[in-house]
Amino acid sequence: MFLSVCIDIFFLAISSFSAIRVLRYTTNIDLAQLDHMMPEMDGVEATRAIREEIGTEYAKNIPIIMLTANAIAGNEEMILSKGFQAFISKPIDIRRLDSVIRYWVKDKNIDDSNAERQTAG
């Protein structure tokens, strides 16, 4: 079964600057996926700005996944050292994407139903 986690908010940023702006003014995004070669600013620089310039715990800790067509040996280690939690090469393997999302995003439906059971019991 693919992508069975419940993700409440999804947004599409057309540039790194718009992604940074959204993450600066909201705290309800579960995970960000940035392309390595985004317009205006690449994904590595955008991640640095999110982690360091926004200045909130949310921005420092939101899972950020890099998508890239530049999958060469050694890239993954470099990408992870730049503040990303995972690396997905293109063309995207849907099973890898599913695995990464499951790992980094908690299922809100499961959390909500567990909380209801604990309060009821």
Give the per-residue pLDDT at 14: 77
* Distances 95 to 4, 21, 44, 55, 64 between C-alpha atoms, Å: 12, 30, 24, 33, 18
pLDDT of residue 7: 52
Tell me what pLDDT residue 19 has.
87
Residue 91: which H helix or E strand, with range?
none
Residue 108 pLDDT: 53
Candidates 23, 96, 24; CA nearest to 66 is 96
pLDDT tens series, the chain, 121 aa: 444 555 555 566 778 898 899 999 988 888 898 888 887 899 999 999 999 999 899 999 999 999 888 767 677 788 889 999 998 988 989 899 889 988 988 765 555 444 443 334 4
- Hey, which residues does 88 pair with through a beta bridge? 67
Do 39 and 15 meet the contact criterion of CB atoms below 8 Å apart?
yes
How high is the pLDDT of residue 46? 93
Task: Give the pLDDT of residue 37.
Answer: 85
CA 69 to chain centre: 17
Q: Which domains, and CATH codes, for the chain?
A: 16-120 (3.40.50.2300)
